[in-house]
A = this chain, B = another copy of it.
Amino acid sequence: MKRKPAITSRDVAERAGVSQSAVSRCFSTNASISEKTKLKVLQAAKELGYRPNSIARSLITRSSRTIALVLSHLDNMFYPLVLEKASLRFQAEDYHLLLFVVPEEGDFIGVMDRILQSQVDGILMMSASLTSSLAQECVDTGIPVVLINRNVDFAGVSQVYSDNYHGGYWVGSYLAMGGHEQIAYLAGLKSSSTSRHRYQGLVDGLASLGKQCQVIVQGDYDFEQARSATLQLFSEPPYPDAIFAASDHMAIAVIETLRHDLGRRVPEDVSVVGFDDTPIAAWPSYRLTTVRQSVDQMVEEATTLLIKQIRQGDFRAVSRMLPVTPILRDSVRQFTHE
């Protein structure tokens, strides 16, 4: 790494005939500096092509104005979308974003170590695998953490997540009312609280109308795995007449498989429900009935919360559960007397 020795505030100061700190003041808000010197400095700075070194600034202010974003599952459209929103939001607040893509349920520990070293001001986490000891470590270090779309029972970290239980509950009762009998749940990752809560909701929603969930298969939030799970579901009777997938991403995989590998019609032969309401769910080919989580709201809440915690050094963990909206489209058979 050799590059031209960078231009420092000292160089600018010299050229402008002022002190180095005068230069510094020109580039920080609410520092008292006269119009006149400011002009001289800015002029010199421009001539030299000077830019304040934010590393040096971070070192002294002990704040990098950087937030770590931890995520996985980029293949599920839901995440790129929240990534985009979150990034725009943070940029607007003048925070930088350090991105950490973690493999599925990988060696989170290594990543955590790097995050902690990187002196971020806060952590926004959209990945399941945060053990409580890891979380504790963050809290000890004094770095605020907020979990998005995740819900762990560790008290130390803040979290914003959807009302997965009631989302699932709605699906359960809706499916029950539709007269479905053989209901299957296509689960997400085993470690995912989100998937578990949706399942619990489904079971209770079904039970409220005297039905039950007949079978549960693992899809792990993965497209291909959802496909095999669907195949497996239809490998021998009794065949499901409704499948609730823990994500739209998987629900689409189910529909594809149903239609093209299994020759089943949706919703006539089997009903499919998803969760998230990603853009794909609305595509005319699918018209997927699903449960909407508001990405906007989720990101808004999470980022606001994180920024507040950073600003105030306020570490009380707060949990925000967001309401969820059933989106009725055409992937569920309408009720008919039989």
Contacts and interface: CB of A to CB of B under 8 A. Distances in A.
Q: Which of A3, A49, A256 has the most CB of B within 10 A?
A: A3
A46 interface: no
A315 B35 CA distance: 40
Integer count of this chain's copies in the complex: 2
A260 B284 contact: yes
Contacts of A4: 141-142
A252 B150 CA distance: 31
A210 interface: no
A312 to B, nearest CB: 9
26 contacts: A1-B63, A1-B121, A1-B311, A3-B62, A3-B313, A4-B142, A49-B140, A51-B113, A51-B116, A51-B117, A54-B118, A55-B59, A59-B59, A74-B80, A74-B81, A75-B77, A75-B81, A80-B80, A80-B83, A87-B100, A88-B101, A88-B103, A91-B100, A91-B101, A96-B114, A223-B279
Interface of A: 1-4, 6, 49, 51-56, 58-59, 61-64, 66, 69, 74-75, 77, 79-81, 83-84, 87-88, 91, 96-101, 103, 111, 113-114, 116-119, 121, 137, 140-143, 223, 252, 256, 259-261, 279, 283-285, 310-311, 313
